[in-house]
Chains A and B, each alone.
Chain A
Amino acid sequence: SQTIHQWPATLVQPVGSPLSLECTVEGTSNPNLYWYRQAAGRGLQLLFYSVGIGQISSEVPQNLSASRPQDRQFILSSKKLLLSDSGFYLCAWRRGQGSYEQYFGPGTRLTVT
């Protein structure tokens, strides 16, 4: 069976500090990977998605970036955090062709102070 992991589970960072959130998927190969942010009162916002190693599509211009160094690893980064980056970050995966649903990880709660 497939499993998706995210870490850390919670993070408190000062404004201007760097960020690295990691997501890994087990039990499948060549998944499509997604990063979402859930901020209070703003619903679920797609940030980035990736169809393969090194292939990243950005949905929202911001001070965040994403990378996919390995097939089942997806990293969300920032060089300098803003207060507005606070939120609940969710990673998701989808199988390739013929599958349309996404499966979500447990999330990372980020508080920027």
Chain B
Amino acid sequence: AQSVTQLGSHVSVSEGALVLLRCNYSSSVPPYLFWYVQYPNQGLQLLLKYTSAATLVKGINGFEAEFKKSETSFHLTKPSAHMSDAAEYFCAVSSNSGGSNYKLTFGKGTLLTVNP
């Protein structure tokens, strides 16, 4: 079985400050990991993905994440927050363990607020 824990349901930062959203996963096999962003009343947009290549993954809008197997973590960072980054962020894990057909298991989400 696989699971995702996002620490902090709500994170608030000032514009220009570092953004750090935490994600820890559990998986019995090497996982594939993803971060998605959701703006109000919209679908989820893929920010970045880890699929067993480079452990430091760069995504869209200046976000990046680092896969750390020893810590079972995949934290999302951005050096300088913009007002437009305010949204809800979801971490997700996928594998084909037990014939799960690469279904995504999501964390509960972290709402990012950016203060002017």
- The answer to whether B98 has its CB under 8 Å from any CB of chain A is no
Q: How far is the CB of A109 from chain B (nearest CB, A)?
A: 7
Secondary structure dominating the interface of A: strand
- Interface positions, chain B 62-116, Cβ under 8 Å from A, are 90, 94, 101-104, 106-109
Once the chains are docked, how many angstroms separate the CA of A100 from the CA of B42? 22
Q: How far is the CB of A10 from chain B (nearest CB, A)?
A: 9
A107–B103 contact, CB under 8 A? no
- Chain A residue nearest in CB terms to B43: A104
A106 contacts which chain B residues (CB < 8 A)? 42-43
Known: A43-B106, A44-B106, A49-B101. A100 touches B43 (CB 8 A): no
Known: A43-B106, A94-B102. A100 touches B94 (CB 8 A): yes
Contact with A along B21-33 (1 / 0, CB 8 A): 0000000000010
- Interface positions, chain A 1-20, Cβ under 8 Å from B, are 6
Contact pick for A102, options B41, B104, B107, CB 8 Å:
B104
- Chain B residue nearest in CB terms to A6: B43
A32–B106 contact, CB under 8 A? no
A90–B44 contact, CB under 8 A? yes
- Chain B residue nearest in CB terms to A106: B43
Residues in A lying within 8 Å of B, measured CB to CB: 6, 32, 34, 43-44, 46, 49, 51, 57, 59, 88, 90, 92, 94, 100-107, 109
Can you list 21 pairs linking A and B with CB atoms under 8 Å apart?
A: A34-B103, A44-B44, A44-B104, A44-B106, A46-B103, A57-B101, A59-B103, A88-B41, A92-B44, A94-B102, A100-B49, A100-B51, A101-B34, A101-B49, A102-B46, A102-B104, A103-B46, A104-B44, A106-B42, A107-B41, A107-B43
Known: A44-B44, A100-B94. 14 other contacts (CB 8 A): A34-B104, A43-B108, A43-B109, A46-B104, A88-B41, A92-B44, A94-B102, A100-B51, A101-B51, A103-B46, A104-B36, A104-B43, A105-B43, A109-B41
